[in-house]
Each structure stands twice: as C-alpha cells, then as structure tokens.
Amino acid sequence: MSKDEPPGLSEEVYHRIKTLRTIQRQIRNADKSEQLPNVKAILQAYLDEKLQWNPGLVTYWSRGVKLCEPRPFRWDEFEAINAAHGGHKSFWTEGVSHKICL
C-alpha cells in the first residue's frame, strides 16, 4: 500500500492499482493502441472507490469512459461492444482473467 492510495481498499485493488500505474508509465510515450485514457480512468475509478475488483466480472471501457457495470464475461457480448466502440483502439476489458482467455 502506498501513502497515495486510500486506506481500506482490498488487497486485489491495491495490487491492480500498482499494475495500472506500471502500465501507465510504460505506455505514456508509446501508446499506439490509445489505451492511456482507459488506464487513467480505471486507475482513478479504483482510487475513488467507484470500481472494485470482482472475480468473474468485467467492465468495458472505451476512450476513458466506462461502458457498463460489472458483468460476467461473455465472448459474444465482448465482440459486439468492442465493434461498436472502434474495435482494436482505445477499448479495454477490465477484470478479465487469464483463465477466461484459455
């Protein structure tokens, strides 16, 4: 836990904040997929306690805007929302587990 983060967040959220800060530093100057607005918005949502880590649930983000409330990942829904929001650029699925992708 960092002094910059609010107290009382779950361990999963603290870990995710740390990961998102690392991603933010890595893509700051080379963001070909235009993910920085999503990373910043998701990070802020965790810090403001407007987003929680919910195992098995995801949220979709595009250009820094949250598109839905947490929901189970469904591939057909992902494809439809992704296509409706520009496809491969500035689209983020927060909460997806590597287990879902296998």
Segment 52-102, tens digit of pLDDT:
999 999 999 999 999 999 999 999 999 999 999 987 789 999 997 655 444
**What does R_g of the chain's alpha carbons equal in angstroms?**
14
- Give CA–CA dist 81/40, Å, rounded: 20
Asked if residue 63 lies in contact with residue 37, where contact means CB atoms within 8 angstroms, the answer is yes
pLDDT at res. 45: 97
Amino acid sitting at position 81: I
pLDDT at res. 101: 47
Token reading at 72: 């189970």
CB atoms within 10 A of CB 23: 16
Phi, then psi, of 20 in degrees rounded to 5 = -65, -35
Report percent pLDDT > 70 for the chain. 90
pLDDT at res. 84: 94
